Amino acid sequence: MVQWKGGVGKSTLAVHIAVALGAVLIDLEPWGGATAWWGGTHANELWQAPGPAPVLRALERGKAPRPRQGASGRPQLVPSHEQLLALTDGVAGGVAAWAWSPEGLPTLMVPTSAGPRPLSEALRVAIRAWADEWGTHVVVDTPAGFGPLADGGIAAADVVVLPVTPDQWSVPALRKFMRAYGPRIRHGLVIPNRVRSRAEDDAWAEVMTSEGVIEPPFVLGPPIQESEVLHSTRRPLTAGPSPGKARATALEQIAAAAQRALELSEE
């Protein structure tokens, strides 16, 4: 799950797509949006847990982290951790070290069981190995913007899912991402999210479906409508009694997006 612009509903969709796929959710977003939602009143106990961040500890040990088991319909989770903030603020702070790449670029190095490795490369290899060890699908929520955490998740993915709200800020950010990362990914799925019945959204939908805007390896996926039920719920929409009309509609749309991602991953 990737978007350079924040506020497009990426983490909310990450949680619910993970539920739809029966997947493990890895939260690489340093502020832990998905972790906060998942943990509720206990979120800080996860985000500020003693010791290193679960993903960094797993890289150093060379073993898959043990996902936390969800309740009330929540997916299994490898939580974010405040230590990940040190990987995004330009100061490694003892978590990692900076080195220079052969191209002369600063590269963030982290301890792994095979010795120091660039963080993005370590995640690329590890996430795919963890998926094999867990024997399940994996959904990775990445930070807004770009950096080694996002790059590692992108490189590991069979499908990069890009939620985009139909507006003047998100669509240009989407196009910049597609130009920058198109050669690096296998498949990209653009999900129009928080779509509303109004002229402005229709206009941007027309832009996104215009020739030459979304090109291979990216495809346009099924839209997800703006929904108070989806964006205000404190537990997955699959939990609780039989859904009413609004919840059933949101579930159908999320299931369609998850199914399309799954189809692309198998191509």
Dump the DSSP string for 75-144: PEEE---GGGGGGTSS--TTS-EEEE-TTS-EEEEE--TTS-EEHHHHHHHHHHHHHHHHTS-EEEE--S
Interval 124-135 mean pLDDT: 97
Does pLDDT of 51 surpass 90?
no
90 domain-assigned: no
Interval 68-82 mean pLDDT: 91
Please tell me which residue, 138 or 212, carries the higher pLDDT value.
Answer: 138
CATH number at 215 reads 3.40.50.300
210 domain-assigned: yes
Domain hosting residue 165, numbered range: 10-84+118-265
Per mean pLDDT, which range of 27-36, 83-92, 98-107 is the poorest? 98-107
108 domain-assigned: no
Going by their DSSP bridges, the two strands 106-110 and 117-118 should be labelled as antiparallel
Distance CA 237, CA 75 (A): 12
pLDDT bin (cut points 50, 70, 90) of residue 86 is: confident
Question: Is residue 231 classed as helix, strand or coil in its secondary structure?
Answer: helix
103 domain-assigned: no
5 domain-assigned: no
107 domain-assigned: no
Question: Is residue 4 classed as helix, strand or coil in its secondary structure?
Answer: coil
CA–CA distances in Å: residue 249 to residues 196, 227, 241 = 14, 9, 15
Query: Please, are residues 122 and 112 in contact by the beta-carbon 8 Å criterion?
Result: yes
Interval 249-259 mean pLDDT: 94
The overall pTM is greater than 0.85: yes
Q: What is the pLDDT of residue 49?
A: 94
46 domain-assigned: yes
Reported as a single tens digit per residue, the pLDDT across 183-198 is 999 999 999 998 888 7
Q: What is the pLDDT of residue 164?
A: 92
Q: What is the pLDDT of residue 232?
A: 72
Please tell me which residue, 4 or 111, carries the higher pLDDT value.
Answer: 111
247 domain-assigned: yes
Phi, psi angles (nearest 5°) of residue 25: -100, 120
User: Could you give the number of structural domains in the chain?
Assistant: 1
Distance CA 110, CA 60 (A): 8
Reported as a single tens digit per residue, the pLDDT across 93-127 is 556 665 656 665 667 889 999 999 999 999 999 99
Average pLDDT of the chain? 88
Does pLDDT of 72 surpass 60?
yes
Does pLDDT of 64 surpass 90?
yes
Reported as a single tens digit per residue, the pLDDT across 146-174 is 789 999 999 999 999 999 988 888 888 88
Please tell me which residue, 227 or 53, carries the higher pLDDT value.
Answer: 53
